[in-house]
């Protein structure tokens, strides 16, 4: 027994010395030109696949609206800016540079066909070590990740023309000479109405101070959103003020068709007898004096507003004082109340809301 232990210790020591020499003297060639040996490639790829299957969220956590084209369009816009270089778009060949990576990233059509939506969520959210796949830029905005998954889930039935139409809300529009606007307009449109996509925020109803503050906090990462954190850093910082001014200068159109909600109005005014503070005190509808630090929500898209209220309630939208205030304000809301509030504000016409008093 002692002989066996002595022999084992010797071999373990020699293996440790060999490993130290390999690392310390650079004997292992890390050149991407030289692929992994077959056993190493198998071990790495199998570990990756089994990790995804083990750690992916359950199928029950996949949102019911994953097939919504508006949700997929948000994911397509982010994919085009952040992911297309490596994975290409549907119907597009990957670049020689992407294919020279080791391991080479899969084409988006192959990747989308290889995994279920819950598994794609884990990959997009966590990234993959020892590859070029980064983790998602933020930790709390699961809705952003699901938007990308919604796009990937639609890829198998998508051609390049379908992709180009989905990702570009400003298709066919003339882009004014505002620096950076061409980039922002692909998702938000030139007029800030995102082509009517109900999952995108309306920017045409917002004031300049609020829009600039939002862009600056997204850029700094103090307002959470993996999609907007990337987008706000994709343009020069000096362009942010001009972009905020452009969207604030748009003339709001009437609210989307839809019925209001008496329950939502009671909640908004604080007259329902519950514990929810009055929304009107900060957000109107006016003639109460407006505070430019707060967003306008009269006429805001219902689906977008619902999603934001849930994020605040569930402490998934964090990072600044406004988020903390909203989390306290909506913490008692249930899903039915959130739907009622969103329906009430979505049915208000932003055109009829009086302008703030001079100097406010």
Higher per-residue pLDDT: 8 or 310: 310
Instruction: Evaluate if residue 279 carries a pLDDT over 50.
Output: yes
Question: Do residues 220 and 246 share a domain?
Answer: yes
Q: 351 φ, ψ to 5°?
A: -65, -35
Is the pLDDT score of 41 beyond 60? Answer: yes
| Other residues' Cβ atoms within 10 Å of the Cβ of residue 36 | 14
- 202 shares its domain with 144: no
Q: Report pLDDT for 359.
A: 45
* Same domain (yes/no): 111, 216: no
Whether the upstream peptide bond of residue 141 has omega within 30° of 0, thus cis, is no
Q: How many angstroms separate the CA atoms of 200 and 144, rounded?
A: 11
Please report, in angstroms and rounded to a whole number, the separation of the first and last CA atoms in the chain. 87
Token code pair at residue 31 = 């050149």
If asked whether residues 197 and 335 sit together in one domain, one would say yes
Q: What percent of the chain has pLDDT over 90?
A: 55
Question: Which tens digit of pLDDT belongs to each residue from 127-184?
Answer: 998 888 999 998 888 999 999 999 999 999 898 899 999 988 888 889 999 999 999 9
Query: Are both 254 and 345 inside the same structural domain?
Result: yes
Structural domain that includes position 217: 184-352
Q: What is the CA radius of gyration of the chain?
A: 25
Residue after which a domain boundary falls, among 134, 167, 200 = 167
Question: Both 153 and 202 in a single domain?
Answer: no
Is the pLDDT at 103 greater than 70, yes or no? yes
- 192 and 161 in a common domain: no
Nearest residue to 140 via CA among 326, 315, 332, 327: 315
What is the per-residue pLDDT across 180-202, written as a single tens digit (0 to 9) for each?
Answer: 999 999 999 999 999 889 999 99
- Least-confidence region, from 1-5, 264-268, 339-343: 1-5
**Is residue 254 in a domain?**
yes
Burial class (CB in 10 A: 0-12, 13-18, 19+), 6: exposed
**253 and 295 together in one domain:** yes
- Lowest model confidence (mean pLDDT) among 151-160, 234-243, 259-268: 259-268
> How many distinct structural domains can be found in the chain?
2
* 143 shares a domain with 109: yes
**pLDDT confidence band for 360 (50 / 70 / 90):** very low
Which CATH number characterizes residue 220's domain? 1.10.760.10
């Amino acid at each position: 027994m002692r002989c066996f232990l002595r022999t084992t210790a010797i071999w373990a020591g020699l293996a440790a010395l060999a490993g130290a020499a390999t690392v310390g003297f650079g004997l292992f060639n890390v050149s991407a030109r030289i692929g992994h040996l077959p056993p190493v490639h198998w071990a790495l790829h199998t570990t990756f696949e089994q990790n995804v299957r083990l750690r992916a969220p359950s199928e029950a956590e996949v949102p019911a609206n994953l097939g919504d084209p508006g949700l997929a369009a948000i994911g397509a816009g982010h994919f085009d800016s952040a992911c297309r270089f490596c994975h290409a778009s549907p119907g597009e060949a990957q670049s020689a540079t992407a294919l020279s990576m080791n391991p080479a990233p899969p084409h988006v059509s192959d990747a989308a066909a290889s995994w279920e939506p819950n598994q794609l969520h884990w990959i997009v959210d966590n990234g993959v070590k020892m590859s070029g796949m980064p983790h998602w830029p933020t930790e709390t905005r699961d809705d952003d990740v699901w938007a990308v998954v919604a796009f990937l889930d639609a890829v198998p039935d998508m051609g390049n023309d379908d992709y180009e139409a989905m990702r570009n809300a400003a298709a066919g529009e003339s882009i004014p000479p505002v620096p950076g606007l061409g980039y922002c307009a692909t998702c938000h449109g030139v007029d800030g109405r995102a082509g009517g996509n109900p999952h995108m925020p309306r920017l045409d109803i917002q004031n300049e101070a609020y829009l600039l503050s939002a862009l600056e906090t997204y850029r700094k990462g103090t307002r959470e959103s993996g999609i907007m954190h990337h987008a706000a850093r994709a343009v020069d910082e000096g362009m942010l003020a001009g972009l905020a001014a452009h969207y604030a200068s748009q003339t709001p159109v009437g609210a989307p068709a839809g019925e209001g909600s008496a329950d939502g109005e009671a909640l908004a005014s604080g007259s329902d007898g519950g514990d929810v503070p009055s929304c009107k005190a900060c957000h109107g509808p006016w003639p109460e004096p407006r505070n430019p630090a707060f967003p306008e929500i009269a006429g805001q898209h219902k689906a977008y507003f619902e999603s934001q209220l849930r994020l605040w309630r569930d402490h998934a939208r964090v990072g600044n004082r406004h988020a903390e205030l909203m989390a306290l304000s909506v913490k008692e809301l249930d899903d039915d109340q959130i739907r009622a509030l969103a329906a009430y504000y979505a049915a208000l016409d932003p055109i009829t809301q009086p302008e703030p008093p001079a100097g406010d």
